[in-house]
Amino acid sequence: MGYVAVRGGEDAIRHSERLLEAFRRREGHPGIQVAQIREQMRLAVDRAMAEGSLYSPTLAALALKQAEGDMVEAAFLLRAYRSTLPRVQTTPTLRPAAMRLVRRISAAFKDIPGGQILGPTRDYTQRLLDFSLLDEEERTDASLSPMSGEATNGAAPPERVSTYLRREGLLPDLPGDVEPPVDITRDAVAFPMPRSARLQALARGEEGALLALAYSSMRGFGNVHPTVAELRVGYLAVQVTIPGLETPVTIGEILVTEVELISRWDADDAEGNAGTQFRLGYGFAFGHNERRTICMAILDRAMQAAAPHAPAEDQEFVIQHIDGIEAQGFTNHWKLPHYVDFQSELDRLRAKRRAAATPAEAKP
């Protein structure tokens, strides 16, 4: 069979794009409004923001609409748009301990300073289909203010669980001098990576990849059996420094999720600390992203191993395989024309088959 170039490719692509739009819209059905996606598909929006590395619920909802719910494609759209934006300013370091809480739990202690705040969670719900949602009517509950942070009643943020573990000497002290964080969007990735670069890569990694690798470590392909010291969901103030003013100015708030995870380590870790203390893994992401941040913290903890013995402990293996945009690009490119490559493989295979079919005595 011969292979020839197909003419009319541009025209076929234009028709394909029109057909894609027809499939997305489905004639006869009203279009889903971006505001509806933003407000009622909040967890999908938050995941898209995290993987797209851009905090904008409206743009994340738009990307999900355009991508027909394809999460990796939506993250791709967001990250591509992000690359066109000018970098106006760098904000001062955010202090997650000061977040306005809507949810705060600890799996390590029943009683913690400030108490546990369940907030919005499906942890205690039955996984049964709610058929009433097939024909849901508009309803409001004036007694609740979703994700408002009113659970803290304006009180000072409670002390972290990790703080009093450090006071007891069960966690290492925080480092004094911290190097400026590495920006993996501007600096080439090189291994071994500093922790700031690893955390940035984990924060925007594809959630399924994070979950699979973290699960492998928990199942025994690694040495991390974690306990969630504290999980926080809440609003965090973002500030900028304006020339001429002595103090930073708050320009708004972002919804974030933070996890501090502790685990015992029997061997020495990457910093040479003996296993007489707990070690901490850290997770932080835009939006309400609990599963992502727990997996992130597990992998952060796993990659602190001085001598990797499992995939989840190997920095290069983890970092090179968790980016959904990179993985999608390489996977999807196999759908594109590979005529020359395949023809070459075909010619070699046919030549081998002919040689194998030739009687040995007929060979020179």
Note the pLDDT tens digit of each residue in 144-154.
555 555 455 55
Domain check: are 34 and 164 in the same one? no
Residue-level pLDDT at 254: 96
Residue-level pLDDT at 270: 53
pLDDT tens digits, 254-295? 999 999 999 876 555 555 555 578 889 999 999 999 999 999
Residue-level pLDDT at 116: 93
Domain check: are 160 and 52 in the same one? no
Domain check: are 193 and 292 in the same one? yes
HSE-up (13 A, CA, CB side) for residue 39: 6
Task: Print burial letters for 183-199: b (CB count within 10 Å at least 16), e (below 16).
Answer: ebeeeeeeeebebebbb
Domain check: are 104 and 28 in the same one? no
Domain check: are 44 and 190 in the same one? no
Whether residue 291 lies inside any domain: the answer is yes
Whether residue 144 lies inside any domain: the answer is no
Q: What is the value of pTM for the model shown?
A: 0.87
Angle, helix 57-66 to helix 42-52, in steps of 10 degrees? 100
Domain check: are 64 and 111 in the same one? no
Residue 6 has pLDDT above 60, yes or no: no
Number of domains in the chain: 2
Domain check: are 77 and 109 in the same one? no
Residue 323 has pLDDT above 50, yes or no: yes
Residue-level pLDDT at 195: 92
pLDDT band at 2 (very low <50, low <70, confident <90, very high): very low
Domain check: are 57 and 196 in the same one? no
Whether residue 2 lies inside any domain: the answer is no
Measured distance CA(241)–CA(252) in Å, rounded: 13
Provide the 8-state DSSP code for 278: E
- Domain's final residue, options 82, 110, 136: 82
Domain check: are 104 and 198 in the same one? yes
CA nearest to 218, candidates 166, 163, 294, 148 = 294
Whether residue 341 lies inside any domain: the answer is no
pLDDT band at 136 (very low <50, low <70, confident <90, very high): confident
pLDDT tens digits, 61-113? 999 999 999 999 999 999 999 999 998 888 888 889 889 999 999 999 999 98
Domain check: are 255 and 305 in the same one? yes
Measured distance CA(156)–CA(240) in Å, rounded: 22
Whether residue 358 lies inside any domain: the answer is no
Cα dihedral across residues 38, 42, 103, 167: positive or negative: negative
Whether residue 299 lies inside any domain: the answer is yes
Residue 324 has pLDDT above 50, yes or no: yes
Residue 312 has pLDDT above 80, yes or no: yes
Reduced to 3 states (helix: H, G, I; strand: E, B; else coil), residue 100 is strand
Domain check: are 166 and 200 in the same one? yes
Residue-level pLDDT at 1: 35
Domain check: are 37 and 100 in the same one? no
Provide the 8-state DSSP code for 85: S
Whether residue 266 lies inside any domain: the answer is yes
HSE-up (13 A, CA, CB side) for residue 177: 0
Cis? peptide before 192, omega within 30° of 0: yes
**pLDDT average, residue stretch 303-317:** 91
**pLDDT average, residue stretch 331-342:** 89
**pLDDT average, residue stretch 23-39:** 86
pLDDT band at 4 (very low <50, low <70, confident <90, very high): very low
Range of the domain at 22: 11-82
Whether residue 187 lies inside any domain: the answer is yes
pLDDT band at 9 (very low <50, low <70, confident <90, very high): confident
